Structure formats: structure tokens, C-alpha cells
């Protein structure tokens, strides 16, 4: 059995009702495999935590920045998207405490795992809110998440990778990147694309995906890494 007091230490929050924390770690697949589990899955806590998270982040942005609504909305989206929340969840070792089905437990590197981690983080926020009320949940979010906003703004991480690479290419190379399909295969219902991003004639990076957009985004991400922009 997992020792959830270790997770409490990682979170920096001691629960009055530890069952709330256990529920936050319980994925639907675990309940499907263990129908006699005394605790439910975490989706209701995730629903609550998502709302608490959005309120705390919105309040922080409103109180600390005077930018227009559209800019603040972009910053908030970058701070609470699945990639960011999954990253925070990993840093807090939440993954080690997830209760998953045997199949889900093995599938560590999939997109599904990323969303499971992000959802678990939201469920933790919901659990803290129910157990310790708003002020403690706000302190927790400030401690583990809000400090990352500075990097998001400085590095323009609130822009999608294609927009970021285009801005950087225009600034540092005085050119606009172009994307070309290098390879396409598969039937219409299961296409696969390999796309290159170019600066003039220079192939900077390649990306793959089940759509042109997905492959272009991956190519732009790799191009930013390649150019160190």
C-alpha cells in the first residue's frame, strides 16, 4: 500500500482527511479493475480543482498585471495547460502515488499519461480546497505554480511554438519560416506526415504527426531547440 504521508510531505500539505488525497490519486481505470475500492475515482475532485486553479491564477494576474484581458488570458492558458500541470505533477512525484489499472500503470510515456498527471494535479488542488479551504489551496498554487509565470512571459511561452519560431526567425534571421511536407503515408482515416521547417533553403528541423498541424508544431518546437532561440 502506498504511504500517502510521503506525498503530503512533497506537497507541503497535511490533510485532516487523507481519504481526499487518496481519492485525488485514484484514476477511473483503477476503479474499473478494483470495483470494491472504498473510494471513488478523482474526476469530481478534478472538476472542482480546475475551477479553484482558474480562480487563483486569474486573481493573481488581475492583482499583479495591468495588461489587457487578451494578454492575461494567454498567460493563464500557458500556466494551466496540460503540459505545464503534468510537469508540475512530475516534479511533486505525484506519478509515484497514482492508483491506476495494470495497463495504465505500464503506459508511462503516452499522451494519455500526460493528461492523467495534469488531471491528478487538478484533483489535488480540489482535495486541498475541500480539506483546508481556499487560503491553503491558494498558498499551494502560488508555491508550486505561479512562480513559473515569469519564465512564461520572458520566453513568450504563451505563444504556440509556430508563432514563437516565426517571431524568433524574423528577429534573428530576418526571414519567415516555411513548412513543407517531406513524407505522407497511410489511408485517409489514418494519415501520417513528416514535415520540415525551413529558413530559406535551410532545413532547420523536422516534425511528425497524424495531421499537418501536429507535425508543424513539433517541427517548430525542435527548430527552437536547434537554434536555441
Judgement on whether residues 74 and 120 belong to the same structural domain of the protein: yes
Does residue 122 carry a catalytic annotation?
yes
| pTM for the whole structure | 0.77
Pair 150, 222 in one domain: no
25 in the same domain as 103: yes
Q: Do 28 and 98 sit in the same domain of this protein? A: yes
- Within 8 A by CB and 6+ apart from 178, the residues are 197, 198
Catalytic hit among 50, 131, 138, 221: 50
Same domain, 36 and 130: yes
Show the cell assigned to 146.
505561479
Catalytic residue among 46, 122, 138, 221: 122
Give yes or no: 107 in active site: no
DSSP code at position 35: T
Distances (CA, A) of 48 to 61, 90, 126, 130: 20, 21, 5, 9
**How does pLDDT run across 136-151, given as a tens digit for each residue?**
999 999 999 999 999 9
What's the half-sphere exposure (Cβ side, CA atoms, 13 Å) at 200?
Answer: 5
- Number of domains composing the chain: 2
DSSP for 80-120 reads HSHHHHHHHHHHTTGGGG-B--HHHHH--SSHHHHHHHHHH
What does the pLDDT look like over 103-134, one tens digit per residue?
Answer: 888 877 777 899 999 999 999 999 999 999 99
Residues 117 and 101 in one domain: yes
Show which of 105, 130, 154 is a domain's final residue: 154
For the domain that residue 204 is a member of, what is the CATH number? 3.30.160.20
Low-confidence ranges of the chain (pLDDT < 70): none
- Structural domain including 177 reads 161-227
Amino acid at each position: 500500500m502506498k504511504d500517502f504521508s510521503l506525498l503530503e510531505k512533497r506537497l507541503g500539505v497535511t490533510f485532516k482527511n487523507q481519504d481526499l488525497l487518496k481519492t485525488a490519486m485514484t484514476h477511473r481505470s483503477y476503479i474499473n479493475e478494483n470495483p470494491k475500492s472504498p473510494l471513488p475515482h478523482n474526476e469530481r475532485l478534478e472538476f472542482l480543482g480546475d475551477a479553484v486553479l482558474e480562480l487563483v491564477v486569474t486573481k493573481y494576474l488581475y492583482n499583479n498585471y495591468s495588461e489587457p484581458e487578451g494578454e492575461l488570458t494567454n498567460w493563464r492558458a500557458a500556466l494551466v495547460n496540460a503540459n505545464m500541470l503534468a510537469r508540475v505533477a512530475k516534479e511533486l512525484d505525484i506519478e509515484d502515488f497514482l492508483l491506476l489499472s495494470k495497463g495504465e500503470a505500464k503506459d508511462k510515456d503516452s499522451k494519455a499519461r500526460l493528461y492523467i498527471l495534469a488531471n491528478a494535479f487538478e484533483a489535488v488542488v480540489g482535495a486541498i480546497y475541500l480539506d483546508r479551504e481556499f487560503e491553503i489551496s491558494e498558498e499551494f498554487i502560488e508555491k508550486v505554480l505561479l512562480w513559473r509565470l515569469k519564465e512564461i512571459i520572458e520566453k513568450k511561452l504563451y505563444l504556440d511554438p509556430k508563432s514563437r519560431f516565426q517571431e524568433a526567425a524574423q528577429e534573428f534571421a530576418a526571414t519567415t519560416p516555411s513548412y513543407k511536407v517531406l513524407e505522407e503515408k497511410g489511408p485517409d482515416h489514418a494519415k501520417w506526415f513528416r514535415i520540415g521547417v525551413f529558413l530559406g533553403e535551410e532545413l532547420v528541423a523536422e516534425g511528425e504527426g497524424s495531421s499537418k498541424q501536429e507535425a508543424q508544431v513539433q517541427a517548430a518546437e525542435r527548430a527552437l531547440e536547434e537554434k536555441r532561440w
